[in-house]
């Protein structure tokens, strides 16, 4: 019982970090958390996150503190979490793609199984896994932990963000796989461009329209296969 209370307490700490807040120009709680950004990148990603969350509430597919997690980095949107009805996925994806500036949508939303729906303990265990990984990243030298977001769904850890190099990606994945409850690591980490090229990219940048996004290819075609590997026990 004591162990469960401890896990639940840490889970609440982790879940509370999802409350929208902006501190020192960088939003915390996993929505727009990358600090190594140009001003244009930060504003654009924050706007995208806010519009998506507002849209979810308006269409009643999720609430402000609901079960769908939204991560935004350089116009890339990662969706994780659970929903009750599979038909809502199409509505959710359309809503996200309708936002100006969205360049890629990575859908990792799961439909709840009525016979095996996640319990409060499952949510707490996943939150505790996320908290342990975030803490290890925070205290790892030469890694800016704010450049990465971590979400754990059904013991699968999703990594998202921007790394300086392939070596840094490897370190982050090793840290995630070292946590006992992490059964699988899915990495959507990108290697960042140089600061000068990113500043140039955002100069006079015009929002990307939905039609331009659709003309560039299908939703499925825009999502590249990422690195997925199972941890060993």
Residue 205 domain flag = no
Residue 204 domain flag = no
Dmax over CA atoms of the chain, in Å, equals 57
Torsion of CA 36, 161, 68, 221, to 10 degrees: 120
CA atoms within 13 A on the CB side of 31: 30
Give the predicted TM-score (pTM) of the model.
Answer: 0.66
How far is 142 from 147, CA to CA, in rounded Å? 12
Would you list the DSSP string of 13-59?
HHHHTTS-EEETTEEESSSS---S--HHHHHHHHHHHHHHHHHHHHT
Q: Quick one: pLDDT band at residue 220, thresholds 50, 70, 90? A: very low
- Residue pLDDT, tens place only, 171-184: 999 999 999 889 99
Domain range for 84 is 26-199+224-230
Number of domains making up the chain: 1
Residue 205 tokens read as 């940048």
Residue 212 domain flag = no
> In this model, does residue 195 exceed pLDDT 70?
no
CATH number at residue 88: 3.30.1340.30
Reduced to 3 states (helix: H, G, I; strand: E, B; else coil), residue 109 is strand
pLDDT score at 13 = 44
* Higher per-residue pLDDT: 26 or 207: 207
Residue 17 domain flag = no
- Residue pLDDT, tens place only, 62-106: 866 678 999 998 899 999 998 888 888 888 999 999 999 899 999
Residue 185 domain flag = yes
Residue 216 domain flag = no
Looking at residues 206-222, what average pLDDT do you find? Answer: 44
Residue 153 domain flag = yes
Q: Edge-to-edge strands of the sheet including 227-230?
A: 148-153, 156-163, 184-191, 227-230
């Amino acid at each position: 019982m004591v162990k469960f209370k401890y896990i639940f307490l840490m889970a609440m700490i982790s879940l509370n970090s999802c409350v929208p807040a902006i501190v020192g120009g960088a939003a915390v709680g996993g929505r727009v958390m990358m600090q190594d950004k140009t001003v244009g990148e930060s504003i654009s990603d924050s706007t995208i996150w806010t519009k998506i969350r507002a849209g979810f509430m308006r269409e009643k597919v999720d609430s402000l503190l609901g079960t769908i997690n939204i991560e935004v980095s350089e116009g890339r949107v990662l969706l994780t979490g659970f929903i009750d009805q599979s038909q809502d996925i199409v509505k959710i994806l359309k809503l996200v793609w309708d936002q100006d500036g969205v360049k890629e949508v990575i859908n990792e939303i799961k439909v709840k199984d009525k016979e095996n729906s996640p319990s409060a303990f499952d949510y707490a265990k996943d939150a505790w896994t996320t908290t342990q990984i975030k803490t290890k990243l925070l205290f790892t030298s030469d890694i800016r932990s704010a450049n990465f977001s971590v979400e754990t769904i059904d013991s699968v850890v999703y990594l998202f963000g921007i790394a300086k190099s392939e070596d840094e990606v490897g370190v982050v994945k090793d840290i995630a796989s070292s946590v006992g409850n992490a059964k699988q690591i899915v990495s959507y980490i990108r290697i960042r461009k140089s600061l000068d090229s990113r500043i140039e990219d955002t100069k006079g940048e015009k929002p990307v329209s939905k039609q331009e996004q659709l003309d560039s290819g299908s939703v499925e075609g825009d999502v590249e296969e990422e690195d997925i590997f199972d941890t060993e026990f």
